[in-house]
Amino acid sequence: MTGVLVLVTGTGRSGTSTIAGSLHHLGLHVPGPYLGANESNPKGFFESTWAVKFHKRITAAAGIHDFDSRPGALDRARESVTPRMKASLVEFLRRHSVAGPQLVVKDPRSVWVQQLWKDAAREAELEIRFLSMLRHPAEVVGSRTTYYATKSDEDQRRRYETFNVARWVNNSLISERETRGDVRTFVPYSDLLDDWRPVLARVADELGLTFDSDLTAGSHHPVDDFIDPGLRRHTVSWDDIEVPDALREVAQEVWDVQMVLCGHAGADAAASERLDAAAERYEQILAEAAAVSHDTTGEIRDEARRAGAREAREQAGKAGGRQGSPSGLGPGSGSDRALRDVNGRELVREVGKRAARRLRRPSPRKHGEGA
C-alpha cells in the first residue's frame, strides 16, 4: 500500500466537519472543492463536493433518503452501485492520493457504501481507516430541528424529531456493523470541542496517522482558531424533544455502547453484541409501527394512485386534443405509464404528504353513530 485513507463517518450534525477541518490543519489532505459555510456550519463543512454528488447519485438510484431510517436501505444502496461508479471512485482516490500520503474524505452519506470504499481503497493501494464522530442523538436532533425543521407546526416538529432519531439509530448501527473488525476510532464531539489536543493525539495513535505539528499544550496552533467550543450550541437532552419511549430507549442504548467502543479503541466484542441486540429491537419497533399504520398507509396509497390516474387522463386528454385523438388513452398509454410511476418514488413522496394530513385529520363518523 502506498498511503492511508481516513474515511470520516458519523451522523449529520455530529462534528464530522470539525474533525475533517482539524485534520486538514494538521497536514492531512482533504480533497476540495468543499461545500461552503452557512448559518448551520459557519466554519465550513470540509466536505468534498465530489463525494457528496457521488453518494447522492447512489441514494437517488436506490430510492432512499440520504440518512434513511430503514435497515433495508443498506441493501438497496449496495444494489444500486454500478461498475462505472466503482471505477470513478477508484480514479478519484488515485488522483487525490498523489497530493500526500494521508487522504481524508468526509461525508456522512458514505454509511451506505463503506464496503465500496474499502474495495476502492484497496484498488487505489490505500489502507483505509475509519473515524466515527459521536454526538448524543438528542443533541443531533435538536441541532437539525433548529436549522431544518418548520417551527410553526408542533405536530410536524414532533414527527421531525421522531424520524430523525430513527435515522440516527439506523445510521449509527449500520456504520458500526460495517466497520467492525477494521482499523477505526470513535470520537465524542464534546471531547473534541473541550480539548482537541489529547483527542487528536489518541486519533493519531489508534489510526496510525502522522501530523505535521507538535500537539504539546501551550504552543498556539491553527486548530485553536478553527475549533470554536461555541459550535456546540445545542446542549439538548431527551427532556427537550418528544419521541416514543421505545425508540428513545434504543437510541440511548446505542449511544451508551458507542461510548464503550470509544474507550476500547473501537473494538469490544460484548459491545458489538449489545448493538446487534439493539438492531433487532429497532427492527421490531419499525415492524410494529408499520402494522399500526397499515390501514392508513393503504388508504393513502390508493388515493395517490387515483390522483396519478386522474392526472394521467388529464394529460392524455390535452395531448389527444393537440394530436386530433379523441382520448389518447389505451394500452401502453400515458395513463399506464403514470400508474407505474406512482408506484415508485412519486408514490412514496405522495404517501408521506398525505400521511401527515391524514394523521392530523379526525376520523369521520358514520351516519347514526353517537356523539
CATH number of the structural domain 3-292:
3.40.50
Q: What H or E segment, with its residue span, contains residue 185? A: strand 184-188
Whole-number Å distance between alpha carbons of 45 and 15? 9
Three cell numbers, residue 17? 466537519
Residue 353 confidence (pLDDT): 55
- In three-state form (DSSP H/G/I as H, E/B as E, the rest C), the secondary structure along 286-309 is HHHHHHHCHHHHHHHHHHHHHHHH
DSSP string, 187-228: EEHHHHHH-HHHHHHHHHHHHT---SS---TTS--HHHHH--
Domain parsing of the chain, residue ranges:
3-292, 294-358
Three cell numbers, residue 134? 459521536
Residue 306 confidence (pLDDT): 83
| Cα–Cα–Cα angle for 83, 20, 80, rounded to 5 degrees | 20
Q: What is the pLDDT along the chain (371 residues), one digit of tens a residue?
A: 689 999 999 998 899 999 999 999 999 999 987 755 444 444 456 888 999 999 999 999 999 999 999 999 999 999 999 999 999 999 999 999 998 999 999 999 999 999 999 999 999 999 999 999 999 999 999 865 554 445 567 888 889 999 999 999 999 999 999 999 999 999 999 999 999 999 999 999 999 999 998 888 778 899 999 998 776 655 789 999 999 999 999 999 999 999 999 999 999 999 999 999 999 999 999 999 989 877 777 777 777 788 777 877 887 777 766 665 444 444 444 444 444 444 444 555 555 555 555 444 554 444 444 43
131 DSSP β-pair partners: 8, 185
Whole-number Å distance between alpha carbons of 137 and 141? 6
Whole-number Å distance between alpha carbons of 348 and 315? 21
Q: What H or E segment, with its residue span, contains residue 277? A: helix 269-292
Contacts of 44 (CB under 8 A, 6+ apart): 17, 21, 34, 35, 36, 37
Asked whether 293 and 269 are in contact (CB, 8 A), the reply is no
Q: Is 72 in a helix, a strand, or coil?
A: coil
Asked whether 55 and 80 are in contact (CB, 8 A), the reply is no
By DSSP bridging, strand 184-188 and strand 102-106 are unpaired
| CA proximity to 259, closest of 166, 172, 183, 187 | 187
Contacts of 297 (CB under 8 A, 6+ apart): 290, 351, 355
Asked whether 135 and 233 are in contact (CB, 8 A), the reply is no
Whole-number Å distance between alpha carbons of 31 and 48? 6
Three cell numbers, residue 281? 429491537
Residue 218 confidence (pLDDT): 75
